[in-house]
Each structure stands twice: as structure tokens, then as C-alpha cells.
């Protein structure tokens, strides 16, 4: 009944529709598939009603109404195609075209321009204006990446309102008045936002254009593919636009639960890596001290033979592998499988933060809430993190939370772009993030600020926990002690607080217990297990979490099952048709310290992070295989170099920082001479004599769904257009936000039941049809 009361029933062009209370007419028309043209309106910003293009006729209203500002009411009758509406739209378009240049053939927006399209559909057939149009010097740069053609601007104000309302920065402003109105840059606030590219995408005409795309191609020449950005751990949904063999741009693709429809400039324009002429195009083998081109079969055979020989001669622990945080889940899974099942070693790891082993079933490196959940938080704490530069769209979501009333506290050694919007800012000495966390936890325990069922159940343990914190103090970290105590009190009374830290802070001298301390801080203050309350790390790369999920760790099998867990290890060994060692392998640092004689490196560059001692050990290896897009510092030292492809050239899945598994789709052909990482690994396995029967990433995902419990039921079809957060099968506890009704919810819909999975019902790998734009490929 309450749900019915929250909806409004109306008719549009005689067709009934029910929409949420508070919706505007335009949104209701969209639900019916009825086009109401708009220029100034954007669904992610407040209505403005400036362009007067969306006029509709509403029964019992004396004048035409703007569909973007008029809120629907029960029983409302709307018409979008009456003579009065058509005449009003024609008048608006004729007015806009008075000074708009007729340069569509050379305009970058031609072919995807709303003014061009709406003029064709709703505009007058001819112009009555026969005087000279106004002209400006063109183009003028408004930022390093964006150019402005002022005569094309229709003053819709989308760009200005995005800067002020969404990004909450004053980069672009409206200058002058009346017919002289134009977009300009605030002289006191340069337009240097990392979100600036969104104004190019939302501009309905060709006024704002990207330097990197200007005069490069035409929209109808592009192949458009729905995929996922590979530039950071947020996993924004994107549309990859490709012409022939080059990625020309990435545009945002709305996924409200992750990116809210926005995209940062790094994801939009940092495409040089994909298009670089420096990419490897052929395998290389070291002969006479020099890396020389070689056929694929020879390179794969040499890598397989030498790795196997060293493992047999010196024992499996003499061989190791360093995996990647950039490759897909399928490739990470095959990589650790090659090391474990093919070479018999658990010496597999990747460069990552220092996270402790699972405790009481909890994974300290997992964000217990979600990106969208930030909007429900009353308090957000950033500890040693700067999402503006590392995970930009998370920063943008925090700005949205601030607009909704959230209080943000930033604890950081250095200033951040978000400082000016924060409720509180606390500075401390670099490298002391862990000490600050322990100081907060100590304040909660000393002042008896604990609350909630978790704290009550462990009341007897709290004195011991306080004692274990030792001499944690604000003085040791250089932070303001009273500010930290005030923050501890705020957390203890918050309606819902989210506490986030950067993964790299765990590698600081005081960061060894940071993940556990932050998790305890959330649990003991009852900020856990509901939207807008939780804790966790902000990871660095596009598949940082996926690498961990897939078992690219020396002590944990895929799905975070301990190597020493006999039942888990034996079950995986049976699935693979092999036996597995009982003891954990060597870590990343231990392998680089000289623990192995041969090393297989995929999609990583340990030489870049190495200390002088580690670099010397890397150079002294008996055999080194490097698999990458470029001749990295590590590859330069390798005996075999295998050229891989970029994320836009292959299929697979990524898992983002909030554990959402999403489908990555191939948007272009592979670079000639290079291969996808999964195909290279399958080739090495074949050369070793392993029977993997892997023909595509979908085959690997099916195996992952069978062998990795938290990915049970995963398929490209089940993940669909927006992905799903693991565990895909129901959890035993609602603490992680998973449903408890026996249903794995995908896109919020009961899609797979645990009973179905137990009965072994086949789940199709075919993807559902995705919404497509002009020229977009599924």
C-alpha cells in the first residue's frame, strides 16, 4: 500500500503510465518511450527550464508547460504532439538558429548533435533570418583538453551547472547578459577539474569539444562498444569508440550503482597506452645477450620447457609467478592455476597492500558497503586516501553525499582537492596512517564509545583489545589529539559512517594492522552491515580485488580459502585433476629477495617497484618470463618476452573496489602479433602438456563459477549490463549486505537461487541485449 501511495498515475498522449511521486513529465515520457526534446535539462541535475524546448500541453493548464520542471500529479493528462506544442518548439529552434553557424559538415558534433537532430524532427523547414550571424574568434581553450566555439553555444547552461552543482567547482561560468550571454572561465578558478570532460559529453551542440578528438573522425565511422574502464579500481561503465584500429575516446555509460553516469578525465582521454606505437608486436627471446624476435610457438615452448626443467631440478618452490592487477579475472585465475596445477607451487603473488589473513570469516581488505551507499552516509572518513587523484568517481560520489548533508572528515598528510568541502581536516606525519587509526580506536575504547551487537557480544574482550593497542597516540603521529577524539565521538553517534583508507597506506611503517584496526573501528561503533555504513580500502587498479579473488596470493586459494585448509585444497585439486602442495608459497617480497630461481611475470613490472637489492636479485634469476604490452624495465631483463593486448582488445571480467564483477567486452581487433593474456597462458599450458580445453574467456568464467564459491553462478548473462557484487550466491550472514532469502540478487532482481546452483542447472553464457546508441556494438 505504501508503495502504491508513492507512485502517481497519469496519461501521456493517451497512454497510461505510473511513475514515482516527484517525477517530472519528461521522466514519465521517457518511461513510455515518448521523446520530449531537451537542451538544458539533465537527469542528474536539478531542473532549470531555461531552453523552453520541452513544452508540452497539460489538460486544465492555461499555458504550455515545460516537461523538465513540471512535477506530475495524479490523473494528469499530457499531450506532446498538439499544434500548439509543435509551433512552440519550432519557434524555440528558429530562435536558437538565428546566430548558430551552419557548419555541420565540419563540426565535430555533426551526426550526434541534438540541435541538428531536433531541427530535423521538430524545426522549421526554412529560416526567416537573412542578416549576418555573429562571429567570435575560434576556438578558445578553456582548459588543457577542451576548446570552446562560442558562436555554437545555445546557453543551455549544462556545462556551468555541472561544474557548480555536481563537481562543486567554479571552472565554467556564464558571462554577459541577454543575447550576448556566453560561456567562459572564472578568472579566479581555472577549469582544471579531473571531471572536466563530462561537459564535452553533455554539451548538446558542438560548442565544447575535446582537443584529442577535434577533426579526427565522424561519429558514423565509429564502432561503439559497451564495456568497463580499465584506468582505476572504480570500474566505471564506458562506451569505447573505435575507428579502424584506434580507440579515439571513451564516453560514460550510466550505471547508477557505480559511476552515476559520470567519467573522469583519466578514463576519458588517457588512451595513449592503448594506441601507442611502442607496444610489443612479436615475442622476443634472448640470444647472445640480446632480445630478438621469435615465432610464438618457439617462445611458448621455451618458456614452458625452462620453467618445467627448473621446477623438476630444484623443486617446485624454485619457480614463482608475479601476477597483475590489470588483467581480467579469467586471466588471473589461469595464471595462478598454471603455477599451482602446472608447476606445483604456491609461489604466486602480486604487488598489493599488506592485508592480514581472514579473521572470524571477515575479509579485512573488502569494502563492506558500496559506492552508491556513500549517498546514505551521515559521516564519511578518508584516512590516508585521496580519491580525487586515485579513484576520482568515488570523490564525485562523496560530493553528492555532501550535497545531501553528509559530513566528510579528511585525515591526510597532504592537502587534497576535497579539503575545502570537508567538515574537518586533520594533518599528520607521512607514514603514520596506521598510528592515526589506532589512536581513533583507542579513543573509542577509552571513552567507552562502543555500541551495537558486535561490541556487546565482545564486551569482555575490549580491555584486552585496548591493551594490545599499546602506546597509540596522536602525538606519535603528529595529529591533533582533540580533533581525533572529537571524530571518535562523531563516529560513535553517527547514523551511518563509512571509513575508507588507501591500499598503499598498508605498506607504510605503521600500516601492518591498518585493515584490522579500521574494521574493528567500524564494528565497535556499529557502522557496519547497512547502506551508508561500513569500512574498507580504496584499491589502486582496475582489477586489484579480482587478482585477490582469483587466488593470486601465496597463502590463499581462489575465493580466499586457505592453502592449509585440507578440504578446500583437495576439492580444488580434484576439480583440476592434480595434487597441490600443503604449505603456502613465497610472497611477492620473498620471491624478489632471492627465494626463486625462475620467475614468470604477467602484466606487472616489479623492476619499477624494486629496491636496489631486489633489482640485483631480479637480474640474477636463471630464467625470467615477462608478459606485457610494452618492453618494461622487467621485460628488458627477461629471457622470454610475450606481447599481450590491452583491455579494449579482449573479453573478460573485472572486479572493482566494491567487489562488483562486471563484463569487459572486446571493442577492437587484437594488435597484430600480440595475444590476450588468457590465450598466452593457455598456450604455455599446452606446451607443458596440460589439457585445459580453454577456447574463450567464457570457458574460464564457467570454471570459476564452479570452483570459486563467492563467484558461484557467475556467467556473462547473469552479470549482464551492470554487473553484480559477490558473493553471487547467498551469504550465511547479512553483514556484507547480501540477501538472506536464499536468492542471489543480480541488478537487484532475484536472478539465481542457491537451490538452482545446487541442482546444477545450467546458466547460459549468452548476454542479454544491451541498450545501444547509434552504431553501438554489443
195-230, pLDDT tens digit by residue?
A: 999 999 999 999 999 999 999 999 999 999 999 999
pLDDT average, residue stretch 674-680: 98
Number of helices (H), then strands (E), in the chain:
28, 33
Phi, psi of 290 (to 5 degrees): -120, 145
What's the pLDDT at 556?
95
What's the pLDDT at 753?
27
Task: Flag whether pLDDT at 756 surpasses 50.
Answer: no
pLDDT average, residue stretch 270-288: 97
Task: Flag whether pLDDT at 747 surpasses 90.
Answer: no
- Average pLDDT value over all residues in the chain: 91
Task: Flag whether pLDDT at 768 surpasses 70.
Answer: no
What's the pLDDT at 748?
30
Tell me which of 301 and 766 has the higher pLDDT: 301
DSSP state of 768: P
DSSP state of 483: H
What's the pLDDT at 160?
96
Dihedral in degrees, nearest 10, Cα atoms 288, 293, 297, 301: 30
List all residues 6 or more positions away from 184 whose beta carbon is below 8 Å from its beta carbon: 142, 172, 173, 174, 175
What's the pLDDT at 394?
98
Integer Cα distance of 737 and 734 in angstroms: 5
Question: What CA–CA distances, in Å, run from 387 to 23, 291, 395, 479?
Answer: 32, 40, 5, 21
pLDDT average, residue stretch 413-439: 97
Whether pTM > 0.75 for this model: the answer is yes
Task: Flag whether pLDDT at 741 surpasses 70.
Answer: no
Integer Cα distance of 355 and 346 in angstroms: 18
Task: Flag whether pLDDT at 739 surpasses 80.
Answer: no
What's the pLDDT at 405?
97
Task: Flag whether pLDDT at 775 surpasses 80.
Answer: no
Task: Flag whether pLDDT at 742 surpasses 70.
Answer: no
Task: Flag whether pLDDT at 33 surpasses 90.
Answer: yes
Task: Flag whether pLDDT at 772 surpasses 50.
Answer: no
Q: In this predicted structure, which of 141-150, 258-267, 558-567, 746-755 has the lowest mean pLDDT?
A: 746-755
Integer Cα distance of 291 and 523 in angstroms: 54
What would the pLDDT profile of 103-132 be if each residue is shown by its tens digit? 999 999 999 999 999 999 999 888 887 788
pLDDT average, residue stretch 552-561: 95
Task: Flag whether pLDDT at 567 surpasses 50.
Answer: yes
pLDDT average, residue stretch 413-431: 97
Burial of 335 (0-12, 13-18, 19+ CB in 10 A): buried
Task: Flag whether pLDDT at 343 surpasses 90.
Answer: yes
Amino acid at each position: 500500500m505504501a508503495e502504491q501511495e508513492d507512485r502517481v498515475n497519469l496519461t501521456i498522449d493517451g497512454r497510461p503510465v505510473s511513475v514515482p511521486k516527484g517525477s517530472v513529465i519528461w521522466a514519465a515520457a521517457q518511461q513510455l518511450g515518448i521523446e520530449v526534446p531537451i537542451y538544458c535539462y539533465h537527469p542528474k541535475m536539478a531542473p532549470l527550464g531555461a531552453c523552453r524546448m520541452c513544452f508540452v500541453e497539460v489538460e486544465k493548464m492555461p499555458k504550455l508547460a515545460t516537461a523538465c520542471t513540471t512535477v506530475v500529479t495524479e490523473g494528469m493528462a499530457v499531450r506532446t504532439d498538439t499544434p500548439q506544442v509543435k509551433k512552440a518548439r519550432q519557434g524555440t529552434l528558429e530562435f536558437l538558429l538565428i546566430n548558430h553557424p551552419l557548419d555541420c559538415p565540419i563540426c565535430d558534433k555533426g551526426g550526434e548533435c541534438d540541435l541538428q537532430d531536433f531541427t530535423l524532427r521538430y524545426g522549421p523547414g526554412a529560416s526567416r533570418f537573412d542578416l549576418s550571424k555573429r562571429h567570435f574568434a575560434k576556438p578558445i581553450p578553456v582548459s588543457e583538453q577542451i576548446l570552446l566555439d562560442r558562436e555554437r553555444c545555445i546557453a543551455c547552461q549544462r556545462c556551468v551547472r555541472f561544474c557548480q552543482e555536481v563537481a562543486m567547482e567554479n571552472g565554467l561560468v556564464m558571462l554577459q547578459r541577454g543575447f550576448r550571454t556566453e560561456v567562459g572561465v572564472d578568472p579566479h578558478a581555472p577549469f582544471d577539474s579531473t571531471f572536466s570532460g563530462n561537459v564535452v559529453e553533455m554539451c548538446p551542440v558542438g560548442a565544447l569539444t575535446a582537443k584529442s578528438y577535434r577533426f579526427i573522425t565522424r561519429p558514423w565511422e565509429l564502432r561503439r562498444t559497451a564495456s568497463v574502464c580499465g584506468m582505476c579500481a572504480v570500474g566505471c561503465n564506458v562506451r569505447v569508440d573505435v575507428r579502424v584500429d584506434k580507440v579515439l575516446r571513451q564516453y560514460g555509460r550510466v550505471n547508477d550503482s557505480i559511476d552515476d553516469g559520470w567519467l573522469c578525465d583519466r578514463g576519458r582521454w588517457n588512451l595513449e597506452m592503448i594506441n601507442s606505437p611502442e607496444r610489443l608486436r612479436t615475442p622476443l627471446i634472448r640470444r647472445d645477450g640480446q632480445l630478438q624476435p621469435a615465432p610464438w610457438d618457439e617462445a611458448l615452448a621455451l618458456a614452458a620447457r625452462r620453467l618445467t626443467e627448473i621446477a623438476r631440478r630444484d623443486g617446485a618452490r624454485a619457480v614463482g609467478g608475479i601476477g597483475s592487477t590489470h588483467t581480467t579475472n579469467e586471466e588471473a585465475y589461469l595464471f595462478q592455476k598454471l603455477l599451482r596445477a602446472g608447476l606445483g607451487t604456491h609461489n604466486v603473488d602480486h604487488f598489493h597492500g599488506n592485508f592480514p589473513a581472514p579473521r572470524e570469516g571477515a575479509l579485512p581488505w573488502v569494502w563492506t558497503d558500496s559506492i552508491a551507499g556513500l549517498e546514505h552516509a551521515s559521516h564519511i572518513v578518508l584516512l590516508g586516501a585521496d580519491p580525487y587523484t586515485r579513484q576520482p568517481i568515488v570523490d564525485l560520489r562523496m560530493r553528492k553525499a555532501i550535497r545531501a548533508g553528509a559530513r566528510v572528515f579528511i585525515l591526510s598528510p597532504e592537502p587534497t582537492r576535497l579539503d575545502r568541502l570537508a567538515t574537518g581536516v586533520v594533518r599528520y606525519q607521512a607514514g603514520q596512517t596506521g598510528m592515526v587509526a589506532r589512536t581513533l580506536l583507542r579513543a573509542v575504547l577509552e571513552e567507552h564509545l562502543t555500541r551495537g551487537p558486535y561490541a556487546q557480544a565482545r564486551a569482555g574482550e575490549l580491555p584486552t583489545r585496548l591493551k594490545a593497542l599499546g602506546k597509540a597516540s596522536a602525538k606519535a603521529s603528529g595529529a591533533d589529539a582533540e580533533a581525533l577524539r572529537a571524530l571518535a565521538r562523531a563516529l560513535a553517534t553517527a547514523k551511518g559512517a563509512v571509513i575508507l583508507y588507501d591500499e598503499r597506506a598498508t605498506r607504510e611503517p605503521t600500516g601492518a594492522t591498518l585493515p584490522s584496526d579500521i574494521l574493528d573501528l567500524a564494528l565497535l561503533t556499529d557502522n557496519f552491515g547497512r547502506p551508508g555504513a561500513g569500512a574498507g580500502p580504496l584499491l589502486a587498479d582496475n582489477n586489484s580485488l579480482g587478482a585477490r579473488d582469483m587466488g593470486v596470493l601465496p597463502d590463499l586459494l581462489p575465493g580466499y580459502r586457505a592453502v592449509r585448509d585440507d578440504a578446500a585444497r583437495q576439492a580444488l585439486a580434484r576439480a583440476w585433476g592434480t595434487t597441490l602442495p600443503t604449505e603456502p608459497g613465497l610472497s611477492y617480497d620473498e620471491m624478489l629477495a632471492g627465494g626463486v630461481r625462475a620467475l614468470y611475470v604477467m602484466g606487472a613490472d616489479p623492476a619499477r617497484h624494486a629496491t636496489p637489492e631486489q633489482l640485483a636479485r631480479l637480474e640474477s634469476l636463471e630464467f625470467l618470463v615477462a608478459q606485457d604490452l610494452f618492453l618494461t624495465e622487467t621485460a628488458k631483463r627477461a629471457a622470454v618476452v610475450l606481447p599481450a593486448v590491452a583491455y579494449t582488445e579482449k573479453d573478460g571480467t573485472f572486479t572493482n573496489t566494491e567487489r562488483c564483477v562486471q563484463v569487459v567486452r572486446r571493442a577492437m581487433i587484437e594488435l597484430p602479433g600480440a595475444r590476450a593474456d588468457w590465450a598466452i597462458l593457455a598456450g604455455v599450458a599446452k606446451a607443458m602438456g596440460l589439457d585445459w580445453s580453454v577456447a574463450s574467456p567464457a570457458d574460464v568464467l564457467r570454471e570459476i563459477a564452479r570452483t570459486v564459491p563467492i563467484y558461484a553462478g557467475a556467467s556473462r548473462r547473469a552479470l549482464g549490463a551492470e554487473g553484480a557484487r559477490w558473493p553471487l550466491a547467498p551469504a550465511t550472514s547479512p553483514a556484507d549486505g547480501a540477501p538472506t532469502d536464499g536468492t542471489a540478487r543480480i541488478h537487484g532482481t532475484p536472478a539465481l537461487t542457491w537451490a538452482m546452483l545446487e541442482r546444477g542447472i545450467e546458466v547460459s553464457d549468452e548476454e542479454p541485449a544491451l541498450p545501444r546508441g547509434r552504431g553501438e556494438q554489443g
